[in-house]
Structure 1
Amino acid sequence: MAGQRPFWRPGTAFGYHALVIGALTGEVVRRVTGRTLQEMYEERVRAPYGLDFFLGLPEEHEPRFHSVQQMDPPPEQQAVFDAFPSGPHT
């Protein structure tokens, strides 16, 4: 990843990939604070505000978990999605 060229000139757009943004953010937090992203989130965000949202689901909440279902849009909705290709500003 480090050897890849940016898709756009720095400062002109922002992008991330859902599969790596967490790992990258977690590593930055760990190097700066010496703690995990989950620890920092729990201490500074979730607990103080009483949020019912976790980074890593605690075992006691597993009965509440439901798997995500694949979205199969009807053809007319898929056509709308396809008409607007993704890019650095979407």
Structure 2
Amino acid sequence: MEDQASGSTKQKELAQETVKRYLIPVPPLAEQRRIAERVSELMPLVGEYGKLEDEREALDASLPERLRKSVLQMAVEGKLVPQDPSEEPAS
């Protein structure tokens, strides 16, 4: 069927006459309703997943800068390496 489609590679088009030549199996109406109900139940989860993915991407993007600031803060506070009380402070 794909070889009979026209249009650009991104958006193929099938003529109605081409599609009419093929038998396309469809589940019984009760099964279609069951599938539609299940899809309706899952769609809110898909939306929530999308929001969580956006939040994760934002955290990933901010991590390097937050890590850099944290390391600098620890360095200023002298917490990067064990401190020896017998040594004089660097300042």
TM-score, normalising length: structure 2: 0.21
Larger relative CO (CA 8 A, sep 6+): 1 or 2? 1
The structure with more radius of gyration: 2
TM-score, structure 1 length as denominator? 0.21
